[in-house]
Structure 1
Amino acid sequence: MELAPPTADECQVWRLPIGAEHWRDFDVLDEGERARHRRFRRSADRDRYQAAHVGVRLLLGHYLGVHPAELRFSRHCRHCGAGHGKPTVAYPATKWEFSVTHSGDWVAVAVASVPVGLDVQETTDGTDVVALSTAVLSPAELRWWRERPAEDARRAFFGYWARKEALLKATGHGLAVPMNTVTLSPPEEPARLVDWAADRPLDGPAQLSDLDAGPGYTAAVALLSPLPVRITRAELPLGVIAAAHTSAG
């Protein structure tokens, strides 16, 4: 099987396997990543972190033709220049952008040649959605949301949340833009941006798509591009990367 990078009109979304047994042969994390991995107290958190950070290094290293341990990442914010922006590849030089997400049993990475944001939300955890609703939902969204039955409202809340997280990851704004200043279409409709009322500008036309992450999850991907971008999804073929990693070593 050939594992090729995305074409100019494609966004690849790869689901990564969780569990130390999948990653123990790949010693590719830098010292900072190893230190953060050790600080997690719960094994589930350590496993998700390991899958996300080892997985993205293996995938991007494979695409860029470098050893995964040689990759260097930056958080330079393209809006203000500070060090809190979305992660990008600082070395080697590349046009590829990526976004990583993890929640519950899901860890995934999206790769595209345009700014991309990926988010998965577990809907069955103990999150108090009523308490968070005014911080996450815009006034127009709140009016619609408060008319939903309780169970529908819970899933709708996480549908909004996943879409907004994906969008703010793609723009690189993150927490600098309050979620309640962004209005999206209701989760029962195709995903689209309705209004951007944030003080900070939107970089370009935003494309939003929902992803089927299975029962108990909502997921979305956002892309900043004036041209259509198709989304492909698959399980990461770790065996292909492992073979290439071994031969390169």
Structure 2
Amino acid sequence: MPPVPGECQVWRLPIGPAHWAGLDVLDDEERQRHARFRQVADRDRYQAGHVGVRMLLGHYLGVPAGQVGFSRHCRHCGAGHGKPVVDQPATKLDFSLTHSGEWVAVAVAADPVGLDVQELTGGTDVAALSESVLSPAELRWWTAQPAESARRAFFGYWARKEALLKATGHGLAVPMNRITLTPPDEPARLVDWAAERPLDGPVQLHDLDVGPDYTAAVAVLSSLPVRITRAEFPASLAAGRQLPDPA
């Protein structure tokens, strides 16, 4: 069943063409973008995310995956750079897609939702990025952490903020360092929103455990407590069989 208010479903999508029927459910723009990726891994992640999203939403909405239509109208300014939303068929369901390393996942909710996974890659200079990602209060906390835990803490902040800005639809229009959250060793919660652009409403933030080499978070714009359910996306969906309930 599709999620109801107060529920968010998170599905991990398998990577690799063998898991998917092909690219025929994608529209022309999606197929062209898929073809432009030079690295096989990038093409596989794109296929998993975009075919998987269409199959899942088509299942929920009772239409073939290829008939799910999307728009990118920003809900803040009306321009065409916004977060993708379903415009055909009409629905209140929202979704958020993320990929990093060996993870591709989608969150679906009845309220605006954002999902983000961050791989703890060794090549990222977190010290150089810290002032643009962390607010002054967060930066003071982060610089006091032991070196062995500081890197994971940084990516914990980053995943939470990416998820939040995906849910609000602000994206890069709101600097991350204007947002203050609880430290990553505490339950995720918004402490202060100091950006010029207003926040859309109450925020529910949740960390997700996706393994030792990643951090992940989901944000839902809702005044209700949100129940997060998680499951592996089943290969049976591509064959038209019924999805199991996430648990």
Q: TM-score range by the shorter chain?
A: over 0.9
The CA distance in 1 between the partners of 2:122 and 2:106, in whole Å, is 22
| 1:68 and 2:65 aligned | yes
Contact map agreement 2:21 2:238 (CA 8 A) in 1 = no
The code of the aligned residue for 1:20 comes to: P
Q: Which residue of 1 aligns with 2:210?
A: 213
Provide the rounded CA distance (Å) in 1 between the counterparts of 2:238 and 2:190. Answer: 36
The two structures have a TM-score, normalised by structure 1, of 0.95
Q: Which whole-Å deviations, capped at 9, do the CAs of 1:167-212 have from their partners, x for residues lacking one? A: 0000000000000000000000000000000000000000100000
Give the equivalent residue in structure 2 for 1:157: 154
Which segments of 5 or more consecutive residues in structure 1 lack a partner in the other structure?
A: none
Aligned counterpart, 2:108:
111
1:233 aligned onto 2:239: no
Aligned partner of 1:101 in structure 2 is 98
> What is the letter of the counterpart of residue 205 of structure 2?
L
Structure 1 residue 121 corresponds to structure 2 residue 118:
yes
Aligned partners of 1:139 and 1:180 also within 8 Å:
yes
TM-score by length of 2: 0.95
Structure 1 position 25, deviation (Å): 4.3
Residue 89 of structure 1 aligns with which residue?
Answer: 86
Identity rate, percent: 75
Name structure 2 gaps, 5 residues minimum: 243-247
Q: Post-superposition, which runs of at least 4 consecutive aligned residues in structure 1 deviate over 4 A? A: none
Distance in 2 of aligned mates of 1:243 and 1:17: 17
Q: What pairs up with 1:50-69 in 2 under 5 angstroms? A: 50-69=47-66
Which of residues 11, 15, 22 is equivalent to 1:14?
A: 11
Q: How far apart are the structure 1 equivalents of 2:16 and 2:122?
A: 21
Output the CA distance in 2 between the equivalents of 1:23 and 1:236: 11
Q: How does 1:172-191 map to 2 (within 5 A)?
A: 172-191=169-188
Match of 1:11, SS state, is strand
CA RMSD across the alignment:
1.2
Query: Please, which of 150, 166, 169 is the counterpart of residue 166 of structure 2?
Result: 169
1:146 alignment partner in structure 2? 143
